[in-house]
Amino acid sequence: MELRTRPLVLLISTCSLAVLTCFYLFPFSNTGIDDRLRTKQKNSFQAPKENIWSELSNQEAKDVYEFVFDELSYLNLTKHPKSNRENFIVVLETLRPNKTDAVPYLRDDAAIPERWAMARVAQVMEDEPYMVHYMVGPLPVGSDTQVLPLDYVFNSGRNYVANPVQDFFAIMEFGLSLAENVSDITQDLLGAVVNRNDPSDPKGLLCWPRPSRIERGGLSMWFEFFRPGTASGARTILPQGIYVKVDASSHNTDDWTAGQFYYNGYLYDTENDFRKAWQKPDFSRAGINQDGSWTDTEDFESKPAGRELPPPVAVQPYGPRYRLDKEQKFVSWFGFEFYITTAQATGLTLFDIRFKGKRVMYELGLQEAMAHYAGDDPMQGGLEFMDSFFGMGLNMFELVPGYDCPAYADYLDSRFHQTTHSYEHPNSICLFEYTADHLLSRHSAQYSVTASRNTYLVVRSVSTVGNYDYTIEYIFYLDGAIEVKIRASGFIFGSFFAHTNEDEYGHRIQEALSSSMHDHVINFKADLDVATQENDIVRLAWEPLTKSYPWDGPEIEERNTMHIVEYPVEKETAMDWPKNGGEFYVVMSSEEKNAWGERKGYRIAAGTGMGSPPHLTILNSTTLGDSARWAERDLWVLQRKDNEPRSADPLNYFAPHDPLIDFTKMANHETLKHGEGSEYDGDLVVYFNLGAHHLPHSGDIPNTLMHTSASSVMFVPHNFADRDPSRESVQGVRLQLKGKKGSGGFAGEQSEAASGDLRTRVARRAEAGEGHKAMYFGQTYEEGMKLPLEALEPDLVGRFESEEIGVTDLGFNGSAAGLWEREQ
């Protein structure tokens, strides 16, 4: 624990703080399984090791809260904060163990790593509000438990960030006041005014800031008028085209001032200038962006042919074929094994992913989800979101059975702890097996046809951050491939259509609404351990070649052809998806080889989405600064280090030009050569991006559709096994066609004694020697099934547990910056 116990002299001097601180397959019979037996089998399955990355239990959180309140008593921490001028615990969660401590426990019989918690504290220092990170442990709380500054995971040299949001209520109050000051103008131009008594009045207006302009001395914000879109949650496609700049740099809210106004392509220096222009008879008016049925995401009335019948659904009549330890969140399926956990900022992460007993990844999970806009108005022109700031895990809400996931899926809860409270989101993770509408493999020979079903395992969650719903899934295939996939839906963040608009940043998509081009760049971490921890990465390049071959002459002197050239990646670097798919990126074991002498590897490839996942278009983003340099290329390969566990931190949002984690300090071209004489041990990590260049069009109204907004990256076995690993676990059939003797049969067909075995059983459609024959590999359905209605159409009224979903509104109050506001 050397990294964790390093004292933070800087924090002490600056902040005047004291440092106290086997693969299993259910043996189903051909006639089905008794539900009680199936339940017993599921419940009796146990993980081989404890989930050392799991969220804090409610009791652990309670004990840590009490301990921190006692140890940091000089801070006068409050349980019910009323402003950011008070000290309180914002976030409490597991501080995941260092890999150097975890691997010996997972691999050998070493002691279980110490368990620690991370506490993010809203803390006033030198009369300014900050967010400060602490580590608390070891757990359970005892005589040796300490509260220490958590600094080793940040390469900024500090564990704190200034909170520029001095008073969220003051921001909202100022917006209301400036809207009321121009209510005569808004009534004339927009046909509505703000309603102080009911800000969500569907007939009224909202006046909200763009929260991205965070300056070193405070805040400088552009406010925009919106209609609330209360019924459908459509506020982000209901901008009203009046913008007001507010200087909130002073800590004294009485000193805040409204400055420039912007409307219909014209910038006015003051409210008085805007008012004088409005009063002139030749004042140029824009349209009005009204709410209406066009924002409804449902149509209950239309009845095209076919809608009177429900669509096909998948069922699972014999129960799941994976095994799940719900307490440890450990899964086993056809050679794959892994642990599931969550975090408030990043949501779902998988650990210790193994295939056929060999670890292929230590960690696989989201790091940050960024959306960066462009436009010709003050809102869209500098708009960006870093969604871990709002919480991809905090906003993982309950999934809809039969819709988000099949009715038969297993559902897991997620837990989080804030301001001394513990919360649970029920059924926020689902796990299920699914058979695709396309085969895993097939082949037609002259007298036979072989078809193998493509069945895979999915772990899925949905994070709803404001206007967008991100479906994130990890998919496991029978051949050992792993896919990370993201799909987006929800309302776009549109811009107001003014008569001065051109199609430079988007398209006109409603009477007074324009789309805004934006990049979604969503960063993931893959800590690969392909068969061993010592790995190398190479580029296998397809290159043209002109070469003379002795067998070509004399007709051809030189042949134009191609060959593979291997380029070792010998230092930390960024890579983009190659032109024409002309390179393979393969992570290879430095030691392990298959039976043919080839190094075991996994290839990193663009997956099954809409195309190659993109990186950020904008160069040196004015808004992002150094907070998201990982977004500037497609993927990165780095040395893995305990003190570099993440590519980003949610509080980078507060300090974009001096972030807590600066990715450029991680990707600093260190060597990837290892072996004798090198301090680097060969343990590498890959950071890769998913997302899309999104140019919304009329089809994005009211919601973006998932099938056109999907992207993925796949990790595909490359010489990892001696042959296709799926052959022994896939389900399928071989049809032997009627033909001449010896034209091809079933292996071992003459051995009738084996006919009862599932892998060699022959099912004949006709008497021996007549017609076709079929042999099934794997289990088949033998009897008709009587399925309950619940298996086809779940009772959502009875099964859905959530009473209210606290979706963030993308304002400061939807983040840790305004967490205290929820206590009111």
- Would you please indicate which residues are annotated as catalytic (active-site) residues? 387, 468
Please report which helix (H) or strand (E) contains residue 143, including its range: none
CA distance 682 to 691: 29
Query: Mutual orientation of helices 183-190 and 271-279 as an angle, nearest 10°?
Result: 40
For 491-512, give the DSSP string: ----EE--TT--TTS--EEETT
CA distance 561 to 221: 60
Please report which helix (H) or strand (E) contains residue 225, including its range: strand 218-226
- Region class of 533: left (phi > 0), else alpha (psi between -120 and 50), else beta: alpha
CA distance 811 to 235: 12
CA distance 143 to 471: 43
The strand pairing partners of 348, in sequence order, are 342
The strand pairing partners of 411, in sequence order, are 430
Contact yes or no for 174/182 (Cβ under 8 A): no
Tokens representing 699 are 């089809």
Contact yes or no for 257/246 (Cβ under 8 A): yes
Name the residue with tokens 């390469």: 155
Q: How far is CA 467 from CA 168, 397, 491, 654, 824, in A?
A: 21, 14, 5, 21, 24
Nearest to 224 by CA among 381, 100, 5: 381
CA distance 424 to 444: 52
Contact yes or no for 671/571 (Cβ under 8 A): yes
For residue 575, give the 3-state DSSP assignment: strand
Is the preceding omega at residue 140 within 30 degrees of 0, hence cis?
yes
Is the preceding omega at residue 378 within 30 degrees of 0, hence cis?
no
Q: What torsion, rounded to 10 degrees, do the Cα atoms 291, 295, 301, 303 define?
A: 140
Tokens representing 240 are 């009203």
Nearest to 695 by CA among 538, 472, 487, 508: 508
For residue 552, give the 3-state DSSP assignment: coil
Please report which helix (H) or strand (E) contains residue 359, including its range: strand 358-373
Name the residue with tokens 């051909």: 30
The H-assigned helical ranges of 500-549 are none
Contact yes or no for 762/777 (Cβ under 8 A): no
Q: Euclidean distance between the first and final Cα of the chain, in Å?
A: 40
Contact yes or no for 313/402 (Cβ under 8 A): yes
Tokens representing 618 are 């904008």
